Amino acid sequence: AWLSKTMRRGFLPGTSLDRLTDEELADWQPEERIAYLAELAEIIDFLHHQGEYGLMHLDIKPANLLLDPDKRPALIDFDTLQCVQPSVGDRTVDEPADQSGITCTPGYAAPEILLGHPVPASDLYALGLCLLWLLSDYDPDTSDPLTLPVAVASLPPALATCAARCLMTDPERRFPD
């Protein structure tokens, strides 16, 4: 009953990742963090398959990711949500009037978002940065971008491969979903 009442008020239990204390982060085991990221990837995939062509969040970052009491993710803040535009060949049908006004967090934004041309893979770029944030000392908001390859290389091989693919500058080379 309490949960249904709080959900009606628009409240989700949990803490955004950026507000976790050092102690809370230290208690969160790497295996639990990886499980969290895998479930978050499923949430993003679900979002990308909603509606006729899919939806894009376009501002995935620790402040917009909740850790609930069961250590499960929730994605919040859909102010930047956009519909995926259908494409035919190499052109987009019914291009939106202006995508240059996308409000996002530059440190977590894929290059194509900054150029005003978001695609679903833009969310996977941000997911890759969140993976680094959770599993290494790399913080896109404060770290030197030149240290990104070092942060990726510091991960176990399978995670480094996953992060590197998410962080490809060409969205066509990122995971399709």
Q: Mean pLDDT, to the nearest integer, of 113-141?
A: 94
Please answer whether residues 40 and 108 qualify as being in contact, where contact means their C-beta atoms are separated by less than 8 angstroms: no
Please answer whether residues 72 and 39 qualify as being in contact, where contact means their C-beta atoms are separated by less than 8 angstroms: yes
Higher confidence at residue 33 or residue 9?
33
Angle at 116 (CA atoms; ends 85, 97), nearest 5 degrees = 55
Summarize pLDDT for 4-30 with one digit per residue, the tens.
Answer: 434 444 577 889 999 999 999 999 999
Buried b (16+ CB within 10 A) or exposed e, 107-141: ebbbebbeeebbbbbbbbbbbbbbbbbbbbebebe
Residue 132, pLDDT score: 96
Report the predicted TM-score, pTM, of the whole model to 2 decimal places.
Answer: 0.85
Residue ranges with strand state E in the chain = 15-16, 55-56, 65-67, 73-75, 82-83, 87-88, 91-92
Residue 160, pLDDT score: 97
User: Average pLDDT over the chain, rounded to whole?
Assistant: 86
- Using the predicted structure, report yes or no on whether residue 91 has a pLDDT greater than 80: no
Higher confidence at residue 95 or residue 119?
119
Q: Is 59 a catalytic residue?
A: yes
Summarize pLDDT for 144-176 with one digit per residue, the tens.
Answer: 989 999 999 999 999 999 999 999 999 999 998
Per the structure block, which two tokens stand in for 173? 């080379």
- Using the predicted structure, report yes or no on whether residue 141 has a pLDDT greater than 60: yes
Residue 89, pLDDT score: 52
Integer CA distances (angstroms), 35 to 86, 150, 153, in order: 32, 23, 20
Out of 18, 27, 45, 59, which one is annotated catalytic? 59
Summarize pLDDT for 36-52 with one digit per residue, the tens.
Answer: 999 999 999 999 999 88
